[in-house]
Amino acid sequence: MALKQISSNKCFGGLQKVFEHDSVELNCKMKFAVYLPPKAETGKCPALYWLSGLTCTEQNFISKSGYHQAASEHGLVVIAPDTSPRGCNIKGEDESWDFGTGAGFYVDATEDPWKTNYRMYSYVTEELPQLINANFPVDPQRTSIFGHSMGGHGALICALKNPGKYKSVSAFAPICNPVLCPWGKKAFSGYLGTDQSKWKAYDATHLVKSYPGSQLDILIDQGKDDQFLLDGQLLPDNFIAACTEKKIPVVFRLQEGYDHSYYFIATFITDHIRHHAKYLNA
């Protein structure tokens, strides 16, 4: 699979790069960002995947979160894909900010006209890692995942649907129970159809209830002044209750005064990198 380099910038001794490729799963050209720490020059490093939220591209995280110094110090390759297919010319894909372009929700769509392109779950868990493993100095056995909002939802479901695939998972203000929130209902009914039993396969709160897998240490940061928390879009309490019932360890930190923005993410990003490094470098 041919990769086309779009940009490369030195940062904390490593290189922040962006590439473009033709995606088989999504049937379109896709960009992703990859940070190669200094350690990647001499050997294979763990891979940490970041999934962004609604309206984002691969650019938001790499330009706003301030993650590079911690990734450089801990020797982590950090990969940040886009949030949806682009330019597929599907009727309605650009009509709203919370569905279609920039809002793939990390599911594999089953409904027309979305099912041909909107396969972000398979892209993030299968195609992209294969591409990364084949082209960059990463150790496929040491992989973790984290994300924000819609991407926090994505990170949680990827980890819960694939026991043992990821060493650790964390999230900033994740959409924890999408089958019950307005964003989730809109996205899932469009991508997955009206049978709500199919939605549960992409809902972290439901997946946790049947999680059979290996030990998973979950870290979640949530801003207390997050408007989307107050609006009932995120529903972390439901997820925490499900984790408690299944005795799955989750550290949930409600951060006083913080909102849903990248200012919040930048404040606590180093904690999250450390959380993953503890498992990836063990």
Active site residues: 149, 226, 260
Q: Which residues of 74-92 are buried (b: 16+ CB within 10 A; e: fewer)?
A: bbbbbbbbbbbbbebebee
Find out whether 237 and 180 touch, Cβ atoms under 8 Å: no
Whole-angstrom distance, CA of residue 253 vs CA of residue 95 = 35
Chain centre to alpha carbon of residue 62:
14
The position carrying tokens 């001499």 is 42
**DSSP-derived pairing of the beta strands 77-81 and 45-51:** parallel
> Hey, is 183 helix, strand or coil?
helix
Structure tokens at 79: 């990969």
Find out whether 234 and 174 touch, Cβ atoms under 8 Å: yes
Find out whether 56 and 101 touch, Cβ atoms under 8 Å: no
For 271, counting Cβ atoms within 10 Å of its Cβ (0-12 exposed, 13-18 middle, 19+ buried), the class is middle
Whole-angstrom distance, CA of residue 153 vs CA of residue 105 = 8
Return the amino acid letter for 250: V
Whole-angstrom distance, CA of residue 136 vs CA of residue 3 = 11
The position carrying tokens 């050997």 is 43
191 φ, ψ to 5°?
-85, -35
